[in-house]
Structure 1
Amino acid sequence: MLRLLLPLIKLRSQLRGITLGVRVCVRDDKGGILLIRHSYLPGWHFPGGGVEFGETAVEAARRELIEEGGVELTAPPRLVGLFRNPEWTGGDHVAFFEAGAWRPCARRWGVEIEGAEFFAESDLPADVHASVRRRLAERRGANVEAIW
């Protein structure tokens, strides 16, 4: 159902001009990385979503982590960078954060989430989104790209 609505969601974003989303890298105590499978996008992604009107990027990151990953931040996340996301729309940007301290909480999944799992960085799913691979490579010293 959501895959059918995707063109309308993108059109709405294009009409709004500049849009902002958030994604967050959350690691468990073994160094595993939390990834989310959405019902409307292929592959595995960092948890996150759109920043709502009247909401800060940090507030959106906190909300999305609870909704999608069952993760409640107990300390502010650290902003890693701001990236342009032309895959979504020409005016879309993603604020990428790294989570610090957190605790598990109840997930609030709707129809948009199909899965949430922690993966070892050395054993990511084959269909992990390219943005995940780029951001992890940058954390290991690769050149930072401006594109999400």
Structure 2
Amino acid sequence: MAWAAYLAEGNARQARKRVAADVIIRDPVGRILVVNPGYKPGWDLPGGMAEANEAPELAARRELREELGLEIRTCGLLVVDWVPPHGPWDDQLAFIFDGGVITTDQADVLLPHDAELIEAAMLAPTDARRLLRARLLPRYDAALAALQDGRPRYLNDGHPTS
């Protein structure tokens, strides 16, 4: 019993991190899916925030299902970025997963399924990069590099650690 109480106290006192989980989804010609959220400026990768006790990968898949009606299986981890506190937010862990390749037919019919998104688009990687929020660009670039060489990246506030 004492051990359980000790663990419960530690769980209650230890920091809890916010977790964001996005995906890179491509089509057969290499275009990348980007989304335009209505609640913040700039475009984003599809995904969102994990709920309490939800695995990051499952959070990304849930967000895609809710926001775009898209069912995917992730193909591995591309990036983990520790994001320090900024504005009103505490720090967070931001994941980007490989969402694989969807068919041209799937890409052609992607539309927002809820009020969080204004639009979705499949764009060439450089065109997608021009639309994405500046804070996301180091993660996006690291994710594309990880797709190329198969090595996941760990970033600290958008910067490689080694």
Counterpart for residue 100 of structure 1: 100
Correspondence list, 1:21-40, <5 A: 21-40=20-39
Structure 1: any 5+ residue segments left out of the alignment? 1-15
In the alignment, residue 76 of structure 1 is paired with which amino acid? Answer: T
More moved, 21-30 vs 63-72: 63-72
Counterpart for residue 18 of structure 1: 17
Matched, 1:122 2:126: yes
Higher helix share: 2
Q: CA RMSD in A?
A: 2.8
More moved, 82-91 vs 103-112: 103-112
In the alignment, residue 96 of structure 1 is paired with which amino acid? Answer: I
Taking structure 2 as the reference length, the TM-score comes to 0.66
**Alpha-carbon distance in 1 for matches of 2:33, 2:140:** 12
Structure 2: any 5+ residue segments left out of the alignment? 1-14, 147-152
**Alpha-carbon distance in 2 for matches of 1:32, 1:69:** 17
Q: Structure 1 residues 47 and 99, CA, compared in 2 at 3 Å: closer, same or farther?
A: same
Quote how far apart the aligned CAs of 1:22 are. Answer: 0.5
Identity, in percent, stands at 27
After TM superposition, where is structure 1 displaced by more than 6 Å over at least 4 residues in a row?
none
Taking structure 1 as the reference length, the TM-score comes to 0.71
Rg comparison, structure with higher value: 2
Aligned residue pairs, count: 131
In the alignment, residue 113 of structure 1 is paired with which amino acid? Answer: L
Q: Structure 1 residues 125 and 137, CA, compared in 2 at 3 Å: closer, same or farther?
A: closer
